Amino acid sequence: MAESGTAAVGFHTPVYEDVDDGDTRPQSGDENLRLFGFAGPRAIDSNVLVAATCFEHDLGDVSDTTDKVRAALTAVATKAAAAGGVAGWIVAGAAVIAIGVSYLVDLIGADDQIGGTRQLSLNQAQADASTNGSNPFFFPALHFDGGDDDGIYDAYLKLRRT
């Protein structure tokens, strides 16, 4: 998608309020935010890059923040794809995402980013290998550490073969 100039896709969870140490949100199950294969299961035709950021919700509009991050990621991925093809955009995109999102967050200003941006890339062979042993497969936690005052959060991504 990056090579063809297709915009990145952006999602956000609901705003969670009154989260204390040891709490889980949602309290049971998962949010079921489908990050790939939006209409249903599909093969991964090219590498997928997932970037995640964690924000403290202060005054900002969650959808507006998501749209601005998505636009920044689209620009980064498109430039990286043009510079180095598929392998180039994965490497360059992952390296530049943290810088680009941090800069963007400074411009947004309404909500504070917690920790850095986390990313992972995945292709069909990796998806097959991961789900062969365990279906669904849970990736290691995406760990966001804002320190004691800003909280420490873990997010989990699930890969399911159907």
Which residue in this structure is represented by tokens 């309404």?
Answer: 110
Q: Which of 71, 91, 109 is where one domain is finished? A: 109
If asked whether residues 134 and 120 sit together in one domain, one would say yes
- 105 plus 118 within the same structural domain: no
Tell me if 89 sits within 8 A of 80, measured CB to CB.
Answer: yes
Secondary structure class of 58 (helix, strand, coil): coil
Give this prediction's pTM.
Answer: 0.75
Pairing of strands 112-122, 48-56: antiparallel
pLDDT score recorded for residue 131: 94
pLDDT tens per residue across span 91-112:
555 555 555 565 555 555 567 7
Buried residues in 75-89 as b, exposed as e (16+ CB within 10 A)? ebbbbbbeeeeeebb
Domain extent at residue 134: 48-55+113-159
Specify if 15 maps to a domain.
no
Cα 100 from Cα 150, distance rounded (Å): 21
- Measured from the Cβ of residue 97, the count of other Cβ atoms closer than 10 Å reads 24
Q: How confident is the model at residue 130 (pLDDT cuts 50, 70, 90)?
A: very high
Spatial distance between the Cα atoms of 45 and 63, rounded to a whole number of angstroms: 29
Domain total in the chain: 2
Q: Is 70 part of any domain?
A: yes
